[in-house]
Chains A and B, each alone.
Chain A
Amino acid sequence: MDFFFQLFSDPVGFWNSHTLLIAQIGINGILATSMFVVLFSGQLSLAAPGFMAVGAYTSVLMGLYWHTPLALGLVAGTLLAGVVGALVGLPVLRLRGVFLAIATIGFVEALRLGVILNLPITGEGLGLKNPSADPLGGINLILVSFVVVVFVAWRLTKGRLGHAWAAIRQDEIAALSQGIHVARYKLLAFILSAVMAGFAGGLEAHLNFFVDPGDTQYGVTRAVQILTFAVLGGSGFVLGPVVGALFITLLPWIFEAAGPYINIVSGAFLIAIIVFRPQGIVGRGGLAIIRPSWWPRARASAPSTG
């Protein structure tokens, strides 16, 4: 509990001693928002770690070999993630539900095990040294971009695009009958999500002097963690996944007292939350999003991103 006590008693000291943690929260928040965008358009995609890897390796390798500034590497990594997102998103457009989830897992693991672990340039599974990392310097960039990303996602869900996404999530066939170009909007969401994940991956790679191609970084375990952000927080509202990310990232501190049994307590806690709030921590209805703010609240209904 010292952790939370310090947050209030000595915020400056907290900031200084936990900068890395705060940076990680910001990055996980961006990843959660990336997950939100695909879920909001009705796509259960678990591809984020793949796009993170694209963003991370592009920015690190550009710095290593071409000595480009960080910003350029980040931009290039983000754009490349978007391109890969388009290439992956197009063939999987017609897949739904867990089929899409598994196909994207296939992409993630094929990229990690098949490409990253085999190319000499990415360290062949031994990892990659990143001397240009700046663990503490990136914090401002991370926090600002976190806020921008969340804001963008929030505004997008409010407009014509958001209406279309919500309609597609509810019923693709009915959405077609309203003149909505379903394939285009789904692909757009997929690419936007890829861009966000690629950007977060690039940022994250510079928190550490070593890029680790492990499962918990760019593999299924990470994908499942990001999904957990969204489902636990509630995927109906943009803040839901962000709260989920905050919560999951802080779990080790919340349950500090559990000591070595932290995972047991966390697991039990996960089950308890999902059983008692299947719709997630934040948000009652799945779709409060496209209701104008002055309109009376709709009644509760569980989100259907399943």
Chain B
Amino acid sequence: MDQQLLNAIFIGSIYALFAVGYTLVFGVLDILNLAHSAVFMLGAAVTYSLVINHGQPFWVACILGIAASGFMGLVIEHVCLRPLRRRQAPPIAALISTIGLALIIVAAIEQGQPGQFFAWLWVDGPNSVAFPPGTIPNPTWHVGDLTLEASKVAIIPISIVLMLVLGYVIRYTQVGRGLRAVAENPRAARLMGLDVDRMISLTLVISSALGGLAGILFGVALGDISPYIGRDNVEVRGLAVIVLGGMGSIPGAVVGGYLLGLIEVAALVTLGSNARGGVAFAALFLMLVLRPQGLFGAQLRERI
């Protein structure tokens, strides 16, 4: 039971880290970036590939994996979002363009096989792989009847520290005020001398780097890296998390992440593994019906 609670906390951390980036983009742009789960996967895949196929040290690979994810944020902005903003397309169009990019990223990894075009990126095709024991530092402790693996335990402080830093930056620094200004009123932000396009690029880079890091943590801790880890594990759950917490709210995404982790583990324990996802989504549906602004969102009222 305690082990389960621990699992809830660490899977919750990953959800939270993933969802913070998701919600950041929604908060600033009012757009759901559906390529976020592909970036999550890309972070894990690049890191794995650098260690196993290119012989890089683990820490270097991690940094490069996060950098690659952050760079993908720039690609999302320049390919999928900015052209649509220029044409004043409805937000729904961005949904489709980010889906298109997600399709490309996943397909590129999927087609990464020895001798193929993408072999430099990935060689395991659609298969799920894990870091072989010994390639990454992973001391394990036993405390009572709990098993503590460093790779899992580390997730918790890493996530919490990162989210605190992000929260501080958004709340108390000039850049954070700028991001909030762009989120609230891009026109006013422009007139105050902010370069709105640059702020949006920055948002995407931060968001994607966090998403990539979440992917790396996931891949390391669960020993499951494949082109589909984003789609299968966080794509829709990420939505649930940001709705539970309140769309666009960063503390909301954090709390929502842990809450979803707890709900899922509770469902797993009481109802069995199949019910896990179903309960989470029933909670999502109920939350939206009963309290659409989420736990931390402000009540929205339309002026007549």
- Cα separation A232 to B108 with both chains bound (whole Å): 23
Identify the A interface with B (CB < 8 A). 44, 91-92, 94-95, 97-99, 102-103, 105-115, 117-118, 124-125, 173, 215, 220-221, 224, 227-228, 231-232, 260-264, 266-271, 274-275, 278-279, 302-306
* 17 A–B contacts, CB within 8 A, in A order: A92-B288, A94-B292, A97-B91, A99-B247, A99-B288, A106-B285, A106-B288, A109-B236, A117-B278, A221-B231, A228-B96, A263-B104, A267-B101, A267-B104, A270-B103, A271-B100, A302-B90
Judged by a CB distance under 8 angstroms, whether B107 is at the interface is: yes
Question: Are A267 and B100 in contact (CB-based, < 8 A)?
Answer: yes
Question: Are B304 and A263 in contact (CB-based, < 8 A)?
Answer: no
Nearest 9 A/B pairs, CB to CB: A114-B278, A278-B89, A263-B107, A270-B100, A306-B90, A106-B285, A267-B103, A113-B277, A267-B104
Question: Are B97 and A124 in contact (CB-based, < 8 A)?
Answer: no
- Cα separation A303 to B87 with both chains bound (whole Å): 13
- Picked from A103, A108, A264, A275, the residue with its CB within 8 Å of the CB of B84 is A275
Question: Are B289 and A103 in contact (CB-based, < 8 A)?
Answer: yes
Question: Are B239 and A102 in contact (CB-based, < 8 A)?
Answer: yes
The contact string, 1 if C-beta is below 8 Å from chain A, for chain B 254-283, is 000000000000000000101111110110
- Picked from A105, A112, A264, the residue with its CB within 8 Å of the CB of B239 is A105
Known: A105-B281, A270-B96. 5 other contacts (CB 8 A): A113-B278, A114-B278, A275-B84, A305-B92, A306-B93
Residues of B within 8 A of A220 (CB): 235-236
Residues of B within 8 A of A264 (CB): 103-104, 107-108, 111
Question: Are A118 and B282 in contact (CB-based, < 8 A)?
Answer: no
Residues of B within 8 A of A103 (CB): 284-285, 288-289
Total CB contacts across the A-B interface at under 8 A? 154
- Picked from B92, B93, B292, the residue with its CB within 8 Å of the CB of A99 is B292
Question: Are B278 and A231 in contact (CB-based, < 8 A)?
Answer: no
Known contacts A173-B304, A270-B103; is-contact A278 B289 (Cβ 8 Å)? no
- Picked from B93, B285, B289, the residue with its CB within 8 Å of the CB of A274 is B93
Question: Are B274 and A270 in contact (CB-based, < 8 A)?
Answer: no
**A-contacting residues, B20-35, CB 8 Å:** 32, 34
- Cα separation A304 to B245 with both chains bound (whole Å): 27
How distant is A155 from chain B, measured CB to nearest CB, in Å? 26
Question: Are B278 and A109 in contact (CB-based, < 8 A)?
Answer: yes
Residues of A within 8 A of B288 (CB): 92, 95, 99, 102-103, 106
Identify the closest chain B residue to A117 (Cβ): B274
How distant is A10 from chain B, measured CB to nearest CB, in Å? 32
Identify the closest chain A residue to B242 (Cβ): A102
- Cα separation A268 to B80 with both chains bound (whole Å): 10
Residues of B within 8 A of A228 (CB): 96, 99
- Cα separation A113 to B236 with both chains bound (whole Å): 12
- Cα separation A118 to B304 with both chains bound (whole Å): 47
Judged by a CB distance under 8 angstroms, whether B179 is at the interface is: no
Question: Are A275 and B97 in contact (CB-based, < 8 A)?
Answer: yes
Residues of A within 8 A of B240 (CB): 102, 106
How distant is A304 from chain B, measured CB to nearest CB, in Å? 6
Question: Are B302 and A110 in contact (CB-based, < 8 A)?
Answer: no
Question: Are A114 and B103 in contact (CB-based, < 8 A)?
Answer: no
Known contacts A103-B288, A275-B84, A302-B89; is-contact A110 B282 (Cβ 8 Å)? yes
How distant is A109 from chain B, measured CB to nearest CB, in Å? 4
